[in-house]
Structure 1
Amino acid sequence: MTKYDAVLLDLDGTLCEYTRGTEQLLPAAFDAVGVEPIFSPEAYVERVDSYADRADSMLERRRLCFADLAAENGHDRQLGREVADAYAAERDHSNVRFLDGGAQAIERLAERFPLAMVTNGGPDMQDPKLESLGIEPYLDTVVYAGYDLPAKPDPEPFERALEALDVPSDRAVYVGNNYETDVLGAAAADLPSVFVGEPPADGPVEPVASVNSPGELPSALSSLPR
């Protein structure tokens, strides 16, 4: 038995990963447009989330980001938007795969708990992944943080999921792989967390457990004391 009545889950990096990441997709987008690289993958990753309040979709966020990066590097803003569109064409949101044991973990957890997905990203970005992985039937609700409410680590996405499940925060646990957005965000909503990976030794919040892969989640939750 476990002390929890519900499980909330992150998606990217917790349950699944892209088969091609930004370091492969961005050069392909430049090639498709027929230009040499005009900014780095690191510059894009560092900046793109800052456009969340100005765009309703990841595509539009990326177009704004690429246009600014193009202009800052001496190129026309329209070129940046063309690269963003080529990037979107290269990125197949169904081109994702489960991390080790992820598929089995979802099935086993769904047998024991109501499940909620709390993920940073809108439906245009996340729904194709959920559909490709076949996760949707196992979820009682999906909260798109950063889309129609603040992004994690704001507590509101976690609170929205708890409300949908009708479970208090002390009877649920959140599973994620990003310490800042997942562990600290969950703590801001008074929600304990399980960390996928190695949490920082000096972090201000300690997860109730940590696992190396999602396949370890069912046994890790079973071993927590009531």
Structure 2
Amino acid sequence: MAKPPTETRTLCGRTLIAAARQRPAVTTPPISTVCFDLDGTLLTYNQNPDAVLATAFDDAGVEQFCDPTQLWAAADDVDDADDDIDFLTKTFRAAGERHDGATDSPDVLAQAYDDATDHTDVSFRPGAQTALERAREHGRVGLITNGGRATQRQKLDALDIHDAFEIHVYAGEMTPPKPATEPFERATTALDADPERTLYVGNSLRHDVAGARAAGLQAAWFPVEGDGGDHDGHDPHHVFDSLHDLGDVL
């Protein structure tokens, strides 16, 4: 599912990234197709995440038991969801269980959080516009994003990039959510693309890198602060400091 506003974050884990780049090069087929994640990869929310979360707790009448970083760390415990609200409900429940918070009304918190979120108040992450243009010049381009069509379309329209993609896969609505392989397989089939020559660019090791690699795609990791650390077995083929790095890979 789509993550509503998180902190406006900068890259971290420079030591990790440097180490990743020092690993022996692995020969991979040349890239003919590029697919992107959306939230946290191509865009970031402009809203203050602490303010949005505080508003949600106040409106739901629940004592705040987590901060935005803790909330989205708990999202890793959510394997599947029916829609965006169900995803938020399960995320708040998981966060409450982790941080001894009230978990008897996670659905109320989920709705309050969604109501406090402006899905049109978004901005490009560094290099995103250039990366999209470069990918379109190079070959076919797709979008594979966790989140419902209605929510994600607001963000695409706000940045005027809906038509930049030849295929849109809304995982969690059209397929199981990432890291399931189905979203990636649906995209490569629709694009008539060879998975081994398809690069997927995302910010999450668990959902983007792991899912893409399991589906046979090449994976590029564009991390944000808080996402650095042990790869936990999800080694990306490439690590980006900025989406401008995509040009070097292509």
Q: What band does the TM-score fall into relative to the shorter chain?
A: 0.7 to 0.9
* Correspondences of 1:51-200 after superposition (within 5 Å): 53=80, 56-63=82-89, 66=92, 69=96, 73=101, 77=105, 80-197=106-223
Does residue 23 of structure 1 match 2:28?
Answer: no
Unaligned stretches of 5+ residues in structure 2 = 1-28
How big is the shift at 1:162?
0.3
Aligned residue type for 1:184: A
Contact 2:132 2:164 in 1 (8 A): yes
Superposed displacement of residue 112, structure 1: 2.0
- Assess, with a 3 A threshold, how the Cα gap between structure 1 residues 52 and 131 changes in structure 2: closer, same or farther: farther
Compared CA separation, residues 109 and 63, structure 1 to 2 (3 A): same
SS of residue paired to 2:39? coil
Q: One-letter code of the match for 1:157?
A: P
Q: Is the 8 A contact 2:92 2:103 kept in 1?
A: no
- Cα distance, 1:124 vs. partner? 2.8
Counterpart residue type for residue 118 of structure 1: I
The CA RMSD over aligned residues, in Å, is 3.0
From the superposition, tell whether residues 38 and 197 of structure 1 become closer, same or farther in structure 2 (CA, over 3 Å). Answer: closer
The answer to whether the Cα contact below 8 Å between 1:174 and 1:192 also exists between their aligned partners in 2 is yes
Query: In 2, are the aligned partners of 1:158 and 1:186 still within 8 Å (CA)?
Result: yes
Q: What fraction of aligned residue pairs are identical, expressed as a percent?
A: 33
Go from structure 1 to structure 2 and tell me whether the alpha carbon gap of 1:108 and 1:67 turns closer, same or farther (over 3 Å shift): closer
Q: Which has the larger radius of gyration?
A: 1
Question: What displacement does 1:147 show?
Answer: 2.2
Looking at structure 2, the residues matched to 7 and 200 of structure 1 have their Cα atoms a distance apart, in angstroms, of 26
Distance 1:89-1:172 versus aligned 2 partners, 3 A rule: same
Of 237, 242, 247, the residue aligned with 1:213 is 242
Q: Does 1:6 align with 2:44?
A: no
Aligned residues: 215
Give, in angstroms, the shift of residue 63 of structure 1.
4.5
Shift of 1:195: 1.8
State the alpha-carbon separation in 2 of the partners of residues 51 and 205 from structure 1: 18
Q: Distance in 1 between matches of 2:103 and 2:184?
A: 41
Letter in 1 for 2:237: V
Alpha-carbon offset, residue 43 of structure 1 = 5.8
TM-score relative to the length of structure 1: 0.79
Runs of at least 5 residues in structure 1 that lack an aligned partner in the other structure: none
Deviation at 1:97, TM superposition (A): 0.7
Q: Post-superposition shift, 1:193? A: 1.4
